């Protein structure tokens, strides 16, 4: 049908990306550029899961370890952050919340603080260098890695709070909780997340990404996170599912990522988001997770998700606009974004509908 939202339509559509991990988002070009400068290692070639391939969750996390061996200094963090912002801008992303785990790297002297400074420098530099072209608003969510200690999580939150204040709440707008879902007990990280809440930082929390985490999910939900990352197994558990439905906590949905890490069936129409959308009109936000590792783009994710629901172009446009309700930025930014969507509608779609 001519009115269905195909890939070309999704490529031109203005979009919001709320679930992108910096190091998992490095394009092939960025990675190769960095590799050409240093000693090459064959294992670097295995940081991308190609079309039709799948990996276990454990293998996926091995890829992050390899990427972390490449992104080792503040200069490289600035460079890759700018590259990733450029990639999203070229894919017609108008607002991006980039999440990334600050790391200490002994060999280069990089600290969590200089890592975060580097991400923020890149966001500011990108803005200065692209004033009128490729307009994209970018915010940073420092990530808590659940495979590291709770003390490290507290350190990350403390820095997030400090940088949020020093940028007048305009750049660091929340904290992400992520990392290998099999590592540690997620509930142990509730105190640092509560600390973030007290500092007026929003919370985006990965949960129920793998099966058998009902108790942990229940406890994490008591935090009433602003958004849930994946939440793959929540719809199977009435106790937790009802909280999410009642509070209308938005789900960040990353279809290709889930398929390639074998946590959902390969058939897109069987992905859990179809249940949330079709049965409950629940807020779901389409995201890429790790566009580099999973060889995808936000346009591609939209075309898959819209295709699974059989959405028309108008419905897909409304869905991408709906994501504005769930960004962590201030009210002025939200109004500006809504204007961008309305302008796009008037010049591109009004005549067709
Ligand atoms: P970085 O934080 O920019 O280094 O991005 C990579 C990191 O994001 C990984 O080491 C994980 O901690 C986290 N991450 C990326 N994808 C996922 C996911 O699907 N589930 C949980 N954590 C993830
Ligand atoms: Zn994620």
Distance 244 CA to ligand 1 centre (A): 23
What's the gap in Å between 335 CA and the centre of ligand 1? 30
Cβ atoms 174, 226 nearer than 8 A: yes
- In this predicted structure, the answer to whether residue 47 has a pLDDT above a threshold of 90 is no
**Which of the residues are catalytic?**
209
246-279 confidence digits (pLDDT tens): 999 999 999 999 999 989 999 999 999 999 999 9
Q: Ligand 1 pocket check: which of 58, 69, 179, 186 to mutate, most ligand atoms within 8 Å of Cβ? A: 179
How large is the C-alpha radius of gyration of the chain? Answer: 19
- pLDDT over 80 (residue 52): no
Task: Say if residue 48's pLDDT is above 70.
Answer: no
Closest C-alpha among 297, 334, 286 to residue 137: 334
H or E stretch including 143? strand 137-145
pLDDT recorded at residue 56: 76
* pLDDT at residue number 55: 72
Q: Note whether 4 and 313 are within 8 A (CB).
A: yes
Contact yes or no for 270/230 (Cβ under 8 A): no
Structural domains of the chain sorted by starting position, each given as residue range(s) with its CATH number in brackets: 7-26+77-352 (3.20.20.140), 28-70 (no CATH)
**CA-based end-to-end distance of the chain:** 14
- Asked if 257 contacts 294 with a C-beta cutoff of 8 angstroms, the reply is yes
Ligand nearest to the CA of 20: 2
Nearest CA to 231 among 262, 312, 220? 220
């Amino acid at each position: 049908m001519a009115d269905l939202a195909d890939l070309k339509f999704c490529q031109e559509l203005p979009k919001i990306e709320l679930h992108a991990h910096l190091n998992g988002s490095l394009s092939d070009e960025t990675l190769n550029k960095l590799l050409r400068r240093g000693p090459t290692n064959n294992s670097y070639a295995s940081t991308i899961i190609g079309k039709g391939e799948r990996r276990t969750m454990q293998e996926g996390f091995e890829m992050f370890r390899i990427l972390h061996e490449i992104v080792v200094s503040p200069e490289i963090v600035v460079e890759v952050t700018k590259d990733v912002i450029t990639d999203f801008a070229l894919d017609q992303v108008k607002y991006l919340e980039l999440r990334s785990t600050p790391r200490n790297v002994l060999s280069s002297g990089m600290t969590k603080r200089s890592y975060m400074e580097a991400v923020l420098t890149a966001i500011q530099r990108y803005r200065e260098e692209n004033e009128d072209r490729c307009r994209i608003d970018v915010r940073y969510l420092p990530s808590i890695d659940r495979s590291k200690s709770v003390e490290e999580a507290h350190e990350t939150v403390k820095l997030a709070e400090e940088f949020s204040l020093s940028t007048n709440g305009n750049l660091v707008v929340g904290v992400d909780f992520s990392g290998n879902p099999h590592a540690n007990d997620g509930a142990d990280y509730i105190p640092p997340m509560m600390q973030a809440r007290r500092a007026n930082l929003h919370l985006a929390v990965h949960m129920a990404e793998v099966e058998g985490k009902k108790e942990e999910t229940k406890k994490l939900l008591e935090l009433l996170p602003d958004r849930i990352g994946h939440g793959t197994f929540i719809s199977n558990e009435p106790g937790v599912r009802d909280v999410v439905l009642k509070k209308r906590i938005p789900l960040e949905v990353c279809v290709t990522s889930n398929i390639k890490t074998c946590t959902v069936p390969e058939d897109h129409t069987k992905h859990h988001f179809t249940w949330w959308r079709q049965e409950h009109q629940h807020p779901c936000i389409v995201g890429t997770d790790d566009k580099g590792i999973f060889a995808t783009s936000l346009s591609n994710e939209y075309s898959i998700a819209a295709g699974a629901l059989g959405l028309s172009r108008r419905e897909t446009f409304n869905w991408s606009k709906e994501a504005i309700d769930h960004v962590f930025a201030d009210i002025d930014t939200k109004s500006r974004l809504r204007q961008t969507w309305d302008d796009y509608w008037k010049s591109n779609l009004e005549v067709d509908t």
